[in-house]
Structure 1
Amino acid sequence: MTTAPQTIRLTTAQAVIKYLSVQYSLADGVRRRLVPAALGIFGHGNVAGLGQAFDELADDMPFIQGRHEQYMAHISTAYAKATRRQSVLAVTASIGPGALNLVTAAGLATVNRLPLLLLPGDTYATRHQGPVLQQLEHPIEADTTVNDAFRPVSRFFDRINRPEQLLTALPQAMRVLTSPTDTGAVVISLPQDVQSHAYDFPAEFFEPRDWKIRRPLPDLEEVDDVARLIRDAEHPVIIAGGGIHYSDAHAALEALAGQLGIPVVETFGGKGAVTKDEWWQVGGVGLEGNFASNTLIKQADLVLSVGSRLTDFATGSQSIFENADVRFASLNIVDADTRKQGATGILADARLGLEALAQALEGHSTSEAWQDTVQAEKAKWAPIRTQWLDADTAYRPEDHPDAPVTGAILTQPQLIGLMQEHARSGDTIIAAAGGAPGDLQKVWDATGNRNCHLEFGFSCMGYEIAAGMGVRLAEGNNENRVVTFIGDGTFLMAPTEILTAAQEGLNVTIVVSENHGYQVIHRLQMNRTGKEFGNEFRYRTTGGSVAAEDAPKARLDGDYLKVDLRQIAEGLGALAIRASTAAEVREALASTRETQGPVVIVVPTVPHVDLPGGDVWWDVAPAEVSGQEWVRELRADYDQARGRQRWFG
């Protein structure tokens, strides 16, 4: 007699939540919940389906109420990054605008190869009602909804038009979330009506399941090929990318660099890849790198990139590799990345690949002359860095004649110096867009586990406050401090999740550099157009509607806007402090380290005072034709500089 298979009758939404609650990642023998919690905002497109399921299964899947869909997804992405891509938070939104607010976050996750699980609602599958609220009526493609916008920015997309489609869709989603090579945004689009449809699911579908995060083994022939290049090189340099973090390859990288005497420079994603302050640890490279790193990379005759996509900020738009005989090697788990720059590649896990290289190169070392050069360049940069970060040396307006007078007495580099002074082992500082990540890339010392969490692959304003919450959720409210460092532009764009941090009792600190505008773009604008326009926060000199035909043609060139950022933060539930002097900033940081809940410290900083450039070109083209003479001059300089670009294949 055959026994009928056991089934469980659930709605589509209930089945999604029940399934997610029993999925586990397994990495190096460590087992953890793959999706331990969810965030969301409910609307008509998900409240009766997913909303009911989250309520009924709340003990299995804790739910965090958010304020904006994009920033909830950023919380999840930062959480995944902080857990080394071993765990994610699910995010749900309603249909239409709610769903589309997730698209930017999906792009960020996919570009940076970070797992993100999105559960947006979608318009009715049955079409009995149509068109329904927020439905896209496409004149040619009747099955197209706004959720199709996710397709180009996702690594996996599926629309669930029948409950039983979950039986294949959800396992595939978990596969992508736990794949080191394929991971990115995973979107399970859930039509509003289908969420509430029921089906008899096989009971075994909801049995706990482990998803092993694999470490691809290196091919020994590929290891030998790269080892041969290293032996032949006189001036080798290692570029460390974010793959060092995800593979937990810090010790392997440090062992190889120390054994061979090869300097290590870091991309934005790789910031903090080296945890020790050694002579071969040189710091950030590229457009926002420091002098020492960039000087060495220009001399390199072999560049070994490890776990890096080598974006234009690292390569100076392919202008930074100046040695005529430079060659490239790569260690990456993504095949396409092993082949960039025409590199000789090792397709493998970063840690295992580095260990294999160390074994293959046993007994080899770079020359004393190259090691002396590395140490000399690092020594040249050290006092420059110290001078710029010194907050106790008073700001001298006469040294910066182009800086506007705002009453601020600290520069942004000095503010960074104060945060560096305060940082302890285990603390994390976060930045993503504007001048903050570039400055941290150049001067932040992430050795000693003073972690630096930079998201610059997508350079997404609005990631930062949310990211602080994601990191804190990953770490728990322990004694380590999580600091988000942003400008006032980013703060004004996305402050609302401060209220969520207060609601959840998350210990996060937000330090705001109040410099009255989008100042890093102002700097680029001045370098490429020669004139400020629309980047500083200024009043229009004449009021009224600019759209009126007879409106005066006044520009945004009046006084700086008067905005009380401290009061905004306080109104959103944070302990908010305004600190103007070095002593006040020190006191604000020290007195709030143990504070429960969000802390916001607003620090006025002098606009237009920037760290010295890294002597690296970036391909941003001025107008090819213009009636403004200074633009024509900038274009001529640009055309000449383009000759520094090289093609590597």
Structure 2
Amino acid sequence: MTGAQLIARTLQGYGVTHVFFVEAVLRKTLVELEALGVKRVSAHAEKAAVYMADGYARVSRRPGVVMCQSIGASNLAAGLKDPFLACSPVISLTGRKPPLARYRNAYQEIPHLSMFDAVTKYNVACDDLQQMPFLLSQAFREATSGTPGPAHIDVLGALGEVTDKTEAAVEARWEDAFRQYPPFRPAPEPERVQTATRLLAQAQRPVIVAGGGATASGAGPEVVALAEALSLPVATSLNGKGCIPGNHPLSLGVVGSYSAWCANQIVHQADLVLFVGSHTGDQVTNGWTIPASGTPVIQIDIEPTELGRSYPNAVALCGDAKVTLGVLIEALAGAAKKEAWAAQARQTVAAWDAEIEPLCSSDAVPIKVERLCRELTRHLPPDAVLVADTGWSGIWTGTMVYLNHPGQTYLRAAGSLGWSFPAALGAKCGAPQRPVVCFSGDGAFYYHLGELETAVRCGINTVTVINNNSCFGQCVRGVQTAYGSQPGNAEEIYRFAPVDFAGLARSMGCLGIKVERPQDIAPALKEALTAQRPAVIEVITDPASQAPDPWTPKA
């Protein structure tokens, strides 16, 4: 069979329903994919295509596939930084010119393979079609196993045309276990479970911190069950948001640097922290200050090299989050509940809620972002996917949009501004029956607004809420501090010219709604969610609105 037939049949065998790409690449493969019923989404930029594959992978828990030609490979590699940081299984295919063109100043060509080393788990070049069955299978195996992450295969031909057209005695092969993640669910050693059980039972103020690994494992029900069994307060990382409903009496909210202060305070007061699928990086720990140094830690992770990376473990449990929590729940049956500690946590959360309530219910114009978040909480459908950008979009949605239904999903940028809109398009492809709502600032939306045309052309009906304050709001204080008393034009750095995003959306075939009064947010959301076409809601917000700063313990 040809390379095109091999790649197409293999992708279909692994359950891939969409591929995201920038023309021109693997054209014969794209023809074969159409014949097999795999949908092809042609994007306007390589990074946007990567973000679409990322959103698809995270919501469907299946690998996302992205492709581009040689000249776009460096752009694609840059885009892979976000799925790499988010532990998302994105498989990328890029072209490169044949060996005879190397070292001869070939047009549009540089050696780009090494660019993928830092942003993939698996990075290989296919020099012969007979390698492809093994390399493709390994890419899916690597992308989904252990901690998920991106994989990359460099094929022959600037457009992949050599691999596309070559014929060889090869057969498409796939393994059903690696069609989704996690492919395997290992359990921890029983003696370690016994130690963890004893520590949890003895602790007076234990807390659960659920991370992206809990989300990837689908361990939300087990997080809630363990919390309820022992009355344990639960904080989450941004990637873990949604593991416990936001209105659950044991929910603390998001902890770390993009956080509600109530979560930081309670986790800092804990005498034992159970990390579930969390990398314990500087964001979830607010610069490794929460929990406090010396606090005993139990860590659950499927990847053994993560255990104890940032905090020495009192006990390390190497295993799948869902399975490991199930074992702990069984082992802790009948253990005493921490009712007094849970009550203290509820009081702290209630104080946070009371503090933000005047802003969340404000009728002020321009609209307070807190009020926008309140309306999103109220009107997100119970099966919605909320996709948030980085920076203040992550803080606003992480702290003030409450996912109160177990069927809701939260996806957030792992760091790349502009990620959310194309990621939302990919998420809609991965979950076509679910409402997908993107939350983006205007600064982030500028990055990939051209993908509105992609959404219209491909019938990807998402709702995009633009928090439009006509500036990089997160940067204002920093720029003003840099100026101090020195004269100059500080606004030149962070202020934008006025743009009619709703009108722009309408000109591209979308539903476009501009909202300038708080009472108009709910009707706009209702109209957009039932529009049967891509929708943009441009909300004019107060530039003075400040996302909450994290609570940080005194040195």
Question: TM-score, normalized by length of structure 2?
Answer: 0.92
Q: 1:51 aligns with which of 19, 27, 32?
A: 27
Distance 2:220 2:482 in 1: 39
On the 8 A contact 1:518/1:536 being kept in 2, the answer is no
Taking the TM superposition and a 5 Å limit, the aligned residue runs for 1:634-645 are 644=555
1:506 is aligned, of 436, 460, 464, to 460
**Counterpart of 2:192 in 1: which secondary structure?**
helix
Cα deviation code 1:45-80 (max 9, x no counterpart): x3xxx1023214422133222111111111111111
The answer on whether the counterparts of 2:8 and 2:32 sit within 8 Å (CA) in structure 1 is no
1:195 to 133, 157, 163: 163
Aligned to 1:599: 535
User: Is the aligned partner of 1:461 residue 2:417?
Assistant: yes
Deviation per residue, 1:215-253 (Å, 9 max, x gap): 011211111121122122111111011122211111111
Among 331, 353, 364, which residue is 2:324 paired with? 353
* 1:257 maps to which of 201, 210, 227: 227
Name the SS of the counterpart of 2:54 in structure 1: helix
> Within 2, Cα distance between the matches of 1:430 and 1:331?
26
Q: Match of 2:385?
A: 428
Deviation at 1:489, TM superposition (A): 0.3
Change (3 A) 1:288 1:325: same
Pair 1:184 & 2:175 matched: no
Could you report, residue by residue, the CA deviation over 1:91-140 in whole angstroms, capped at 9, with x for unpaired residues? 111112x111111221211222110011111122233894321122xxxx
Q: Following the alignment from structure 1 to structure 2, what is the Cα–Cα distance between the partners of residues 585 and 64?
A: 31
Alignment partner for residue 86 of structure 2, among 75, 87, 112? 112
Distance 1:325 1:567 in 2: 55
Q: Tell me the secondary structure at the aligned position of residue 315 of structure 1.
A: coil
1:14 maps to what in 2? 5
Quick one: percent identity of the two aligned structures?
24
Structure 1 unaligned regions, length at least 5: 1-8, 24-32, 137-144, 396-407, 539-555, 618-640, 645-649
1:352-501 equivalences in 2 (<5 Å): 352-390=323-361, 393-395=362-364, 409-449=366-406, 451-456=408-413, 458-476=414-432, 478=433, 480-501=434-455
The amino acid of 2:427's aligned partner reads V
State the Cα distance separating 1:20 from its structure 2 match.
1.9
- Secondary structure of the 2:107 match is coil
How far the C-alpha of 1:146 sits from its partner, in A, is 2.0
Tell me the equivalent position of 1:77: 54
Residue 602 of structure 1 deviates from its aligned partner by 0.8
Cα 1:450/1:351, change in 2 over 3 Å: closer
Equivalent position SS for 1:374: helix
Equivalence for 2:472: 518
Counterpart CA distance in 1 for 2:509 and 2:114 is 37
Q: 1:326 aligns with which of 288, 292, 295?
A: 295
Structure 2 counterpart of 1:89, from 49, 64, 80:
64
What is the CA-CA distance between 1:300 and the residue it aligns to?
A: 0.7
Out of 564, 580, 584, which is 2:520 matched to? Answer: 584
- Tell me how far 1:278 sits from its aligned partner: 2.9
From 79, 82, 100, the equivalent of 1:126 is 100
Mapped pair 1:149 → 2:115 = yes
Report deviation, 1:311. 1.8
**Alpha-carbon contact 1:498-1:569 (below 8 Å) kept:** yes
Kept after mapping to 2: 8 A contact 1:223/1:357? yes
Q: Tell me which protein shows more helix as a share of its residues.
A: 2
Q: State the distance in 2 between where 1:533 and 1:317 align.
A: 34
2:552 alignment partner AA: V
| Mapped partners of 1:166, 1:536: distance in 2 | 54
| 1:614 equivalent in structure 2 | 550
Contact 2:389 2:444 survives alignment (8 Å): no
CA shift at 1:442, angstroms? 1.2
CA contact (8 A) 1:164 1:199 kept: no
1:280 aligns with 2:250: yes
Question: Does residue 535 of structure 2 align to residue 570 of structure 1?
Answer: no
Shift of 1:410: 0.5
Q: Is the 8 A contact 2:143 2:149 kept in 1?
A: yes
Q: 1:227 to 1:535 in 2, by over 3 A?
A: farther
SS in 1 for 2:405: helix
Query: What letter corresponds to residue 281 of structure 1 in structure 2?
Result: S
Change (3 A) 1:82 1:371: same
- What is the CA–CA distance in structure 2 between the aligned matches of 1:315 and 1:128, rounded to whole Å? 47
- Deviation track 1:485-529 (CA, whole Å, cap 9, x = no partner) reads 111101112111111111111220111111122111324555687
2 CA distance for matches of 1:231 and 1:573? 59
Inter-CA distance 459–450: structure 2 relative to 1 (3 Å threshold):
farther
Q: CA separation in 1, counterparts of 2:481 and 2:254?
A: 22
Relative to 1, partners in 2 of residues 1:361 and 1:570: Cα closer, same or farther, differing over 3 Å? same
Matched-pair contact (CA < 8 Å) for 2:64–2:89: no
- Tell me the distance in 2 between the aligned counterparts of 1:601 and 1:326: 45
Q: Distance in 1 between matches of 2:243 and 2:487?
A: 38
User: C-alpha deviations, 1:12-70, integer Å up to 9, x for none?
Assistant: 333222322223xxxxxxxxx1x222122223xx3xxx102321442213322211111
Task: Report the AA paired with residue 543 of structure 2.
Answer: P
Offset, 1:533: 11
CA contact (8 A) 2:386 2:436 kept: yes
1:165 counterpart residue number: 131
CA distance in 1: counterparts of 2:488 and 2:216, whole angstroms: 39
Deviations 1:255-299 (A, max 9, x none): 111111110001100001113733212211112221221111111
Aligned residues: 545
Partner amino acid, structure 2, of 1:351: K
Shift in alpha-carbon separation, 1:454–1:178, aligned structure 2, 3 A: closer
Q: Which runs of 5+ in 2 are unaligned?
A: none
In the alignment, is the contact (CA less than 8 A) between 2:443 and 2:471 conserved in 1?
yes
Contact 2:479–2:490 at 8 Å: present in 1 too? Answer: no
Correspondence 1:185-264 to 2 at 5 A: 185-192=150-157, 194-202=162-170, 205-206=171-172, 209-212=175-178, 213-264=183-234
Q: Distance in 2 between matches of 1:562 and 1:358?
A: 55
Amino acid at match of 2:247: D
- For each residue in 1:298-352, what CA deviation from the matched residue of structure 2 results, as whole angstroms up to 9, or x when unmatched? 1111111001112212111112234x75211101101122223011210001111
Amino acid at match of 1:430: V
- Answer yes or no: is the 8 Å Cα contact 1:519–1:536 preserved in 2: no
Provide the TM-score with structure 1 as the length reference: 0.79
Question: Among 12, 19, 22, which residue is 1:41 paired with?
Answer: 22
Task: Show CA shifts across 1:436-485 (max 9, x none).
Answer: 111111122112136352324x3111210111111211121x3x421111
Corresponding letter in the other structure for 2:322: R
Which AA in structure 2 matches 1:461? L
The question of whether the paired residues in 1 share the 8 Å contact of 2:211 and 2:278 is answered with yes
SS state of the match for residue 510, structure 1?
strand
Distance 1:177 1:320 in 2: 31
Secondary structure of the equivalent of 2:465? strand
Residues 1:451 and 1:199: Cα distance change in structure 2 (over 3 Å): same
* Separation in structure 2 between the aligned mates of residue 220 and residue 520 of structure 1, nearest angstrom: 47
Q: 2:140 aligns with which of 161, 166, 174?
A: 174
